Amino acid sequence: MKMATFTGTGSADRITPASVTAGVTPAGVRPGEDADNLYGYAGNDTLDGGGGADYLAGGADNDRLNGGSENDSLYGESGVDDLTGGEGNDYLAGGTEGDTYRFDAASGVDRVVEGVNAGADALIVGGGLKAANVKIFIENDDLRIQFGDNEIFVEDQFASGVGSSARVEEMRFSTGAPIDLTTVQSAWLTRTGTGRNETMTGSIFADTLSGAGGRDTLYGGVGDDRLLGGSGDDNLQGGAGVDNLDGGSENDVLYGGADGDRLTGGAGDDYLAGEAGADVYYFSPDFGRDQISEAVNGGADLIRLNAGVDKADVDIWIEGDDLYISDGDDSVRILDQFATGVGADARVETLQHSDGSRVSLKSVQSAWLVREGSSGNDNVSGSIFNDTLNGAGGSDVLSGGVGADQLNGGVGSDTLYGGADGDALNGGDEDDVIYGDAGADLLTGGFGDDYLVGGVDNDVFAFSEGFGRDTVVESVGTGTDSIRFTPDISGADVSFRVIGDDLVVSVGEDQVTIQDQYAAGTGAQARVERVTFQDGSSTVSLTTPNAAWLTVNGTAAGDSLDGSIFNDKLNGLGGADYLNGALGADTLSGGTGADTLYGGEGADVLSGGAASDLLYGQGGADVFRFDVDPGAAGVDYVGDFVQGTDRFSLENANFVGITAAATLSAGFFRLGTAAGDANDRIIYDATTRSLYYDPDGTGAAAQVQFATLGGAVTLSNTDFIVT
């Protein structure tokens, strides 16, 4: 059967599944299981929707409406009407005059809508239910009545007030006294959760909502409410009114709302936002790690430390623009406390200790800017003010942040960050990493091998006796930077050397390596501009390397010497040395001992000296110099001679019988294994790649091998010069 619309006659009509009064249209049809529309119009009508989601409108006079099963909409309109929603979730609107609403144990979740002063309205709960079976509470200005799985929702019951301004006047049962619904009972304002994850909303009155267990969300609404989260991670929102919020155990979120509220996070790490009004935050022992969010000029806010939080154990400090108040491992972080300034611009105004004494939190005390680390590994951050951070023992991380800060790493391998403004950073003992960041900073590595990064502005790197082997990193064009030696080091104690594009400043066994000092060039492109001495020694400019810095002499032992990007002189002297010219046109002299020489890029001069040496010119037009008596020099290995590019240079004082010339005379050179005539002094055996010197040119005296070539090279007299 399709949906039908039934229209009454204007008299007392009956439209039900059992019978329909004559004259009702459509004729010969009754409401069935589908969704029907029933209009009684005038007269005392009886309307029964039967099955389906029906629409019933009584019209004028005193009507009886029964929705039947499913979700129905019933409108009594004018007259004293009797409305029964039946099964399903129904919408019941009595209209004017005194209406009656009927419910039983299977009526579902129904909504009742009434007007103010629209007669004496009543809810009648049958089905054997009693007042003891009913739970009543108020949500916002609505009245909610629960019995089993059923609920009556009286919309806007107290929107206009209590007493005669209430919408529905009473609730009746089959037995027992009725319940007056015009006056609020205290029990209606108290709700307790079941231990599951629940959402509760309070009323326009003063409510008490208890979440019990589970993750609950409690909304106080209007009125001075008390919200108790209980166990679980709860969300409490006070709303309007002077509210009392207690998160209970675990990690809770509390919002006070309008007016001055009282917030207690309880155990766990809680987030507390008082919002508007003069709020009070309460903390007892073991309160966890909490955060407070307050607005500027949001009222005179107070933090109260309860009994058990001893004043002597409380520490206060500032990190960034946040204020911290701690008791052992527990702490309260006031977010953005000084973000907009001090005084009236502070977020929370006062701290009250458990003994009643008070501390103003609106202005900064110097003690709050001093932080002391422990013997362990600490991570300490400074504030937007001028801080002193002391790492003490352990491998600490200290961050100054904004402000002119003093950071002291102490014992341990520490990492220090200066942050903005001019900071003084001292690594202390062991191997530290220090970043000056922005501002004109003073960086002191202390003892140990430290890594120091200046950052922008005019930085000073300070060193005293025994500072170790440190590395300095600076940028090009970011201020006038200085290496500064304390009075125990004078200019006579310091030597300079360029390795690659780094500048090494040495004091005995200690040294500072300025990384990439000349990577971008000299002059204004240098990284660190000068060295100063506090003992009054003259200042040394570092922007362009001194020629003496490019000459390096080894020792009697075997040394490893590296050249720079400039034209270096590396002298191995005694021992088996390793010399690497790197960039530039370098002069490498092995000296005595079996040495290894690498010219690097550029046109280099390599002289192995005495003993059998390994010579590699690498890039550029290189000269392999032989300036030692061939009989005493040993046999050098020339690993990468390039014919037509590289040259051999012979010292005629040692290679007797050869005339000095820019190019060896063809008569002095012979390809083969031995001299053929009196002029053959330099013999090259291409098969064995051996170079010989013949003392007499005839082979009468034994020829002396002075070099072996590393590759299959064809030589001629043009590959030799004699000086």
- pLDDT for 438 equals 95
- pLDDT for 1 equals 44
- pLDDT for 700 equals 83
pLDDT < 70 stretches in the chain: 1-2
The CB density around residue 401, as the number of other CB atoms within 10 Å, is 23
Stated as kind and residue range, the H or E segment containing 262 is strand 262-264
Stated as kind and residue range, the H or E segment containing 225 is none
Global pTM?
A: 0.80
- pLDDT for 697 equals 81
Q: How far apart are the first and last CA of the chain?
A: 125
Q: And the tokens for 568?
A: 């270096």
Q: And the tokens for 318?
A: 């500032």
- pLDDT for 2 equals 60
- C-beta of residue 296 within 8 angstroms of C-beta of residue 347: yes
The number of helices, as runs of H, and strands, as runs of E, in the chain is 1, 69
Helix, strand, coil percentages (3-state) for the chain, rounded to 5, are 5, 35, 60
How far apart (Å, rounded) are the C-alpha atoms in residues 423 and 392? 18
- pLDDT for 298 equals 83
Q: And the tokens for 445?
A: 């590595």
Across 441-576, the runs of DSSP E, i.e. the strands, are 442-444, 451-453, 460-463, 469-473, 482-485, 494-499, 502-507, 510-514, 530-533, 540-541, 551-553, 560-562, 569-571
